Structure formats: C-alpha cells, structure tokens
Chains A and B, each alone.
Chain A
C-alpha cells in the first residue's frame, strides 16, 4: 500500500511539546508558588479544569447547554466521601488514590439513568430538562439527610488506608500531585475523545442533527453516550474535590454550582479544547482571590461575563487565538500601543466604577462602622457628594477615553484582518 499524506500521526512534534510543557507546568508550579494558600488554590484549579473540560464536552463539542452538570460532579463527590468513610472504617480495602475513580463511576451510574431522560431532547428542551433534573437532585439533597448529610454535609478524613511509599495525602502538596496526575490524564483522555468516531459525530450532531440521522447515526444515542462520558470526568473531579475539602455539602449539586461551570467554561472559551482549562483557572482565582478582595465580587464577575458575551463570545481562548493569528502574520506589534491605551482607559473606568460600587455596598452592608471607607488606598466617604462626584468624574473620563481608543483599535484591527485575508489568499494561490 502506498503511503498517503494523511498518515502523519506518529510524529506530531508540536503536540508532544505542548503536552510535555503542560505536564512540566503542573509539576513545577507548586515549587514556584510555595505558600499554603497557593497550594490550596492549585489543587482547586486542577479540580476545576477537569470539570470545566468535561462540561465543554457537552457545551462546546455537543452543543448541549446543560444547567445541571453539578449533579454529576456532586454525586461523584458524595459517593467518594462515603467510600472514603468506608475505607476509614476498615470495611473497604481501597487505596485513597483510587477514590476519584469511584466518584467517576458513580457519576456514570447516575448519568446512565438521568441522562437517558435528559438526552431525549436537544437544544432548548435539553436545557430545560437539565434544569429540572438539577432542581430535583438538589431538593432531594435536602430530603435525604442520611445520604447527603443535611446542612452540615458529610465529612471524612483522607489520611487513611494503605500508605504506599509513605504517601499519606496528609500534606496538601501530596494531594496536589495526585490531583495534577488526574488532571493531566483526564485532559489527555478528553482530548483523545475529540479524535474518535464518537467525538467527531458529536460535533456533527451539534452542527446538523438532521443530517446525522441521514448518515445512519441515532443522534439521541450519540448525545447519550457523550453525556455519560462527560459525567464520568465530572465525577472524577467531584471525587478529587471530596478528598481535597474532606467535606461534601449539598451545595455541590446545586444549580448555583452548575451555573458556575457554565459561566467559566464559556468565559474560558467553549470553541477551543483548551478554553475550559483557562476557565477553570479563572474560576478558582475569582472564587478565592476576588472574593477576598471585595464583597461585590459577584457583581464584578457578572459584569465581566456580560462583557465577554457581548464582545468576545468565543471566550478568552478565542481572544488568544485571534491574537496569535495576528502575531503569525507579524502584525501584533502594531497593536501594542492600542492595547496599552485600552488597558489604561479600562483601568481608569474600572477605578471610577469600582469606587461607586464599593460605596453602594458600604452603604448597604457596613453602615454601622460609619460612612468612611478605603478604596485602593483612597479615603472615600459614602455620604459625601465629593466622593460620588469624583468617582463619577473618573468613571466618565475613563468611559470616554475608552470609547475613543476602542474606535481607533477597531479601525486598526479590521485593517489587519483585511491584510491577513489578502495575504492568506495570496499564499493559498502560490
């Protein structure tokens, strides 16, 4: 048989480099950020990356807008913590490092049952059913305290069972490396999935379900199997979370949690495989750092989300890829000035808006400590007209400047895009 040109698969150097780098980053990053807070956050990022990637199997690859993905990660968490407690009691000889797999398999079981109903429909009915199923599971979490632990949740202790090579998972760093190992394996498996017949047909179902039926595939079955596989990885993530926090409360199956998965997967970018990795990282940064920084963090998050949906619906990943494309044509340097100007104006705008938001929050929540507050080192008085006027002035100045630079940027951007179109046509013709 003659060699044909699509058989290039064994020597994809670029791919090997990227995966090795990913593994290296996972291995080295806790040595760079050595504080216990950063180890906690890094562990949570691994967990978030897995669950956002699994969510994107549905959203990005299958066009399934699920409002109930936390059901599967959450059920994984609950079964993992119960399994952990069985191990602690000595009634189950299972190493702690395999408990996330138990989480994954139990999520599969749940998805086999609930997914059958959910994936009967596509598009909006699908979204509605996931919402209903999510509510159902969340309300049963309150009804069955024996399993879900009621308001206090179910707690466990991960330092138990056999201790191979002296690894107890007591110190956070040992657990981090377990999570990192799961993260890279799960990411690789989920990437591999996109290269299989089912993975490709899932894209086809997303784009044109009717035609899929006319090439012999049952669209419902494609969605159902993909749904179960996504649940498996969500369950693994849930199992890791159970080990990480050593407590599981009913919040993990809530619609609030499902919404967060959707929000951050979208923010990271659903149209690229690596988008949800960014999404997962941003999710932990927002939940841990932003919430420390300000009480109004959910409001800021909402504003960011709004901004992204309106101006960059492809998420951060698409912004990265668009700029890489510009860079590949050697045009990124032209945009630096604009980017700097945009950032500066956005910061001015943000400072003004931020000051007003903080004053409103201060008036609503902290009036007992007086009307004085500090914002970025500046003393503001929520009752003084000067503070309000100053903040508004800063914000409006920022807004005006931002709009001006944005117009300039849009012009430059479209010029560059035109150039790239022309250039790529020219290269194609060669």
Chain B
C-alpha cells in the first residue's frame, strides 16, 4: 500500500450542497506520469486543490507516500514532498528569474528562515538555481524580472519553480494553457526532461498533450473517475468515448435527478 507515491481514497468535496468531487479513488505508483482529463467542470482543478492543501476535503483521504496529508497546510504538504504549478501563472513578478528559482530551492536545502547568512554565500542554492535556469532554458534571461518575460517563458519559470524544491510528486495544472501549438510541442519535451524520475500528475485539455506525456490516463467526469488505464485502453474505452460525446454526462445528470 505504501508503495504508492500518491493515493486518493474515496475523496469527496462539497461546496455548499453541491458535491464537486464524488468519491475519487486513485493510486499512483512512484515514477508514473498520470494525465487527468475530463470535460469542463469535471473537478480536475478542485482535485488538485484538494491534494495540494488549498482546500480541505469534505471526507476521504489523501495519502502521500503512505502518509495522510489531508487537513495539512500547503507549506506542510510541500515540505513532505509534493509541489504544484498553477493554471494561471503564479510566480514572483517583481523578482528576477534567478531570484524566483532561488526562492524555490531555499527551504528544500534547509535554509529555512535564516537571516544570519548572505544569499550570495549559499553556494549550493546558487548552483541549484543556475542549474534549474539552464534546465528550463532561461539562463539568458537570468536577471530579467519575471513580469517582463514572454508568456511561454513565464510558463517555463512556473515549471522551474515547481520542480525547484525536493518534491517527488509534481502536480501540473494545465501547463500548456494559452500556448501556441508550436510552443506546446517543445514545452512537452521540456516537462518530460525536467521531471525525470518524479511522479507526475497533469491536468490537460489538449488531448495530444496528454497522450504524448502520460503513462496512464485518468478520466474524470462529474467528480468521479470514469477510467484509469494506459492511453490505448482509455482511448478504446467506449464509456470514455461516450463521455466526450456527451451521452454519459447526460446519463449521470439523469441519474442525479432520479
């Protein structure tokens, strides 16, 4: 059981009387890349917010490496080895690319709240930030303020900031949102490169992206996991096909009413 990097057990979340996540079970093995797909309003982002501690689940459990993390605060969950990116770019706008990444590595390297050491003297943090900057191909923009970067560069910085710490489980919320087709291709490759050896969960709208990136795909429809399998099997699954044609959605609504 503890072999799973991330495990969701009968996870539920309601806002008022509306249940958005309706009993999600999902077990992700370490090193797996999982794509989460589903129609708009299926609860993909809510699911991410539950896992990363932004929201507290109404019931059910989230286990990270076998340890219960529901109810913990985002920074505690991050310290336990889970990191996430955001659909809307969420970086430090008034800090340079280098400073952004250095902020990302400080806690993981054990510097905590220290004010008795100079940043310039922290060789390991500086080297790691430089290394990350090369990984996300922003080393030429080292001292540019994040707010002045092009959109695709900001998205890359978002990924860089997400992988900067020591997190083993990475959640990416629509990493390619708002990018052009040509940018997306190289960006997928970048994501693959920088997350080698890590467990990855990605929410994506673009089917090409998901099928290009994921080892396994989870289909989320109306707060429930409809299918969780390798891409070929998911593609062949008639229920999934129906869901995207809309009939399963209509069915589940009908069953809700009755």
Contacts and interface: CB of A to CB of B under 8 A. Distances in A.
Interface in A120-159: none
B118 A203 contact: no
B92 interface: yes
Given A9-B121, A208-B91, A198 B114 contact: yes
B181 interface: no
B102 interface: yes
A338 B52 CA distance: 56
B21 interface: no
Contacts of B90: 208, 210-211, 214
A198 B113 contact: yes
Interface in A214-234: 214-219, 221-222, 225, 229
Contacts of B118: 9, 192, 195-196
A14 interface: no
Q: B79, B94, B103: which has the most chain A beta carbons within 10 Å?
A: B103
Majority-rule SS of A interface residues: helix
Given A6-B130, A208-B93, A218-B75, A197 B120 contact: no
A214 B94 contact: no
B189 interface: no
B115 A204 contact: no
A295 interface: no
B83 A225 contact: no
Contacts of A229: 115
Nearest to A198: B115
B111 interface: yes
Nearest to B90: A211
B108 interface: yes
A207 B75 CA distance: 17
Interface in B67-99: 73-75, 78-79, 83-84, 86, 90-95, 99
B161 interface: yes
A201 B120 contact: no
Nearest to A218: B75
Contact of B75 (A4, A7, A213): A213
Nearest to A197: B111
Contact of B120 (A6, A211, A216, A218): A6
A9 B120 contact: yes
A211 B115 contact: no
B126 A197 contact: no
Interface in A152-203: 192-193, 195-201, 203
B117 A196 contact: yes
Contacts of A203: 92, 94-95
A67 to B, nearest CB: 24
B84 A208 contact: no
Interface string A1-37: 0001011010000000000000000000000000000
B4 interface: no
Contact of A197 (B73, B91, B94, B117): B117
Contact of B113 (A4, A193, A207, A221): A221
B164 A215 contact: yes
A6 B109 CA distance: 19
A229 B114 CA distance: 12
B52 A214 contact: yes
A214 B114 contact: no
B175 interface: no
Contact of B92 (A195, A208, A225): A208
Contacts of A216: 75, 78-79, 106-108, 165
Given A195-B118, A197-B111, A211 B130 contact: no
B83 to A, nearest CB: 7
Contacts of A197: 106, 111-115, 117, 119, 122
Interface in B3-26: none
Contacts of B121: 9
B175 to A, nearest CB: 15
Given A196-B118, A197-B114, A200-B119, A4 B127 contact: yes
Contact of A225 (B52, B104, B115, B161): B115
A27 to B, nearest CB: 27
A212 B84 CA distance: 12
A38 B36 CA distance: 71
Contacts of B75: 212-214, 216-219
B245 interface: no
22 contacts: A9-B120, A192-B118, A196-B115, A197-B111, A198-B115, A200-B99, A204-B95, A204-B103, A208-B90, A208-B91, A208-B92, A210-B90, A213-B73, A213-B75, A214-B90, A216-B75, A216-B79, A216-B107, A216-B165, A217-B107, A225-B113, A229-B115
Interface of A: 4, 6-7, 9, 192-193, 195-201, 203-204, 207-208, 210-219, 221-222, 225, 229
Given A214-B83, A217-B113, 6 more contacts: A6-B126, A196-B119, A197-B111, A198-B115, A207-B95, A208-B92
Nearest 9 pairs between A and B by C-beta? A216-B107, A198-B115, A213-B74, A196-B115, A213-B75, A9-B120, A216-B78, A197-B111, A207-B92
